[in-house]
Amino acid sequence: MSPAPAHPLEEARIRVLAAADDRFYECGVAAVTVAEIRDTAGVSLRRLYGLFPTKADLVAAWLRDRHTTWLAWFANAVGEHIRAGSHPTDAVFDAVGDWLASTDFRGCAFLNTLAETASLTEEHRAIIAAHKGALADTLTDFAADPDAVAVLLDGAIVRSAALRSPEPIEAALRAARQLAPLTGAP
Amino acid sequence: MSPAPAHPLEEARIRVLAAADDRFYECGVAAVTVAEIRDTAGVSLRRLYGLFPTKADLVAAWLRDRHTTWLAWFANAVGEHIRAGSHPTDAVFDAVGDWLASTDFRGCAFLNTLAETASLTEEHRAIIAAHKGALADTLTDFAADPDAVAVLLDGAIVRSAALRSPEPIEAALRAARQLAPLTGAP
DNA sequence: GTTCGGTGAGAATGATCATTCTCACCGACC
DNA sequence: GGTCGGTGAGAATGATCATTCTCACCGAAC
């Protein structure tokens, strides 16, 4: 059904990145060993190191991959809520609210990784900053003050992780509804 | 000026907690070794382990200590801004804005520690949740919707750390000013 | 003066990793 | 059939820790 992978190498790369996303997000970068990624991906250590010469390289590739994937998921989820009748600003919070309520929610992967200062490279920091910038950019289509909505979203995400409850998204939505509306929106 | 320490033991405990706060906040819990805490505090490993049987115990004591210290600093800083003429809600953002702009700002210690899932105990998680709950409680005096303001504050803190700019606090303040005002406040 | 509980300094222990290396194997080409 | 580049499996290497242990020392009590 899916297009055949160009190379066995490409296929291994995809499996490794999927394993990295699974393990790194659930347990944090520092807590996951390269051996665990190898086992989850079902590739040999040799191939893993051939694809990503160091663990830091793998982390960077994972962050880049998740940056793309998460924003795509987000745009799609917001679109679905809008199509289901939500006001654009509300839809943004509905989408994130769905995520917060999912059982495998573990906070924002980028903020979590940023907090693991131990082995973070400058490249990692740049990817994380770019992701948070891109989130605000995405919101330009849905809110009059995208930076303010981004603050509400990230605040709800981290407080939800800390308090272990999806409740903060409701406080965030209450606040968002009092913000100046998007001019010219339907 | 300060009351004389009851015991040399008590004095050592204070120095260890100060060292822990200095190192853990700057570098993250996982990146700081027990030996580094010993050197910074100037106590022997033996005494350190006598005071805190495991590193996890030290982390828990540090979190509890910082919980008290940070909230006291926050209440005081907000009070100063109010005395200087700020509106109560504004004062909350002024206080956090000062912190974000300081050179040693490294995000929220509690959220950072939460992200280091590796060796986090249930006790740690409980202290972190309690801290975030207490922050919202503190805001009851300064805002009509303390949970919404807490979301704005935490969002500004993490986005400021990720983007490496104190700018998000301004977006948060813009949003806060559009929130329903505190009824009965001066 | 001697003895003893407690102490500092720092070495020893035992884990846990990231990364590299070894070796036996396989399929492609001659 | 034989050779060879590349591969999987997993052992070896070298660090880095948290935690414990050793030993020599000091001041107090007798």
pLDDT per position as a tens digit, A10-32: 889 999 999 999 999 999 999 99
Reading chain B (186 residues) residue by residue, the pLDDT tens digits are 444 444 777 889 999 999 999 999 999 999 999 999 999 999 999 999 999 999 999 999 999 999 999 999 999 999 999 999 999 999 999 999 999 999 999 999 999 999 987 789 999 999 999 999 999 999 999 999 999 999 999 999 999 999 999 999 999 999 999 997 766 544
Query: Per the CB < 8 Å rule, is B114 touching A128?
Result: no
Distance CA B122, CA B183 (A): 39
Query: Per the CB < 8 Å rule, is A163 touching B132?
Result: yes
Q: Of all residues in chain A, what percent carry a pLDDT higher than 90?
A: 88
Judging contacts by C-beta atoms under 8 Å, the chain A residues touching residue B115 are 28, 107, 111-116
Q: What Å value separates CA B63 and C1' C9?
A: 29
Q: What Å value separates CA A52 and C1' C19?
A: 12
Bases of strand D lying below 7 A from some protein CB: 7-11, 16-22
Provide the pLDDT for residue B151.
Answer: 98
Unique residue bearing structure tokens 């005494």: B47
Strand D–CB B50 distance below 7 A:
no
How many other C-beta atoms are found inside a 10 Å radius of the C-beta of residue B46? 9
State pLDDT tens for residues A94-118: 999 999 999 999 999 999 999 987 7
Question: Residues, chain B, total?
Answer: 186
Provide the pLDDT for residue A11.
Answer: 87
Distance CA B160, CA B93 (A): 13
Q: Is A72 exposed, middle or buried (0-12, 13-18, 19+ CB in 10 A)?
A: exposed
State pLDDT tens for residues B35-71: 999 999 999 999 999 999 999 999 999 999 999 999 9
Q: Three-state DSSP class for A183?
A: coil
Q: Which helix (H) or strand (E) holds B177?
A: helix B168-177
Q: Of all residues in chain A, what percent carry a pLDDT higher than 70?
A: 94
Work out the pLDDT band at A173, boundaries 50, 70, 90.
very high
Closest to A156 measured CA to CA, from B147, B138, B144: B147
Alpha-carbon gap: B27 to the closest alpha carbon of chain A (Å):
6
pTM: 0.92
Distance CA B23, CA B29 (A): 8
What's the CA dihedral at B21, B26, B27, B32 to 10 degrees?
Answer: -30
Query: Per the CB < 8 Å rule, is B162 touching A30?
Result: no
The answer to whether A156 and A171 have CB atoms below 8 angstroms apart is: yes
Distance CA A171, CA A151 (A): 13
Strand D–CB B49 distance below 7 A:
yes
Structure tokens at B92: 């909350």
Reply yes or no on whether the pLDDT at A69 is more than 90.
yes
Provide the pLDDT for residue A184.
Answer: 52
Reply yes or no on whether the pLDDT at A57 is more than 70.
yes
Nearest residue of B to residue A115 by CA position? Answer: B112
Provide the pLDDT for residue A156.
Answer: 98
Strand D–CB B76 distance below 7 A:
no
The answer to whether A168 and A122 have CB atoms below 8 angstroms apart is: no
Nearest residue of B to residue A128 by CA position? Answer: B162
Reply yes or no on whether the pLDDT at A41 is more than 80.
yes
Provide the pLDDT for residue B3.
Answer: 43
Judging contacts by C-beta atoms under 8 Å, the chain A residues touching residue B112 are 115, 117
Work out the pLDDT band at A180, boundaries 50, 70, 90.
confident
Mean pLDDT, rounded, of chain A: 92
Alpha-carbon gap: A82 to the closest alpha carbon of chain B (Å):
23
Least CB-CB distance to A162: which of B128, B145, B156?
Answer: B128
Please enumerate in sequence order all residues whose Cβ is within 8 A of that of B83, keeping only pairs 6 or more positions apart, or say none.
Answer: none
Alpha-carbon gap: A79 to the closest alpha carbon of chain B (Å):
24
DSSP state of A33: -
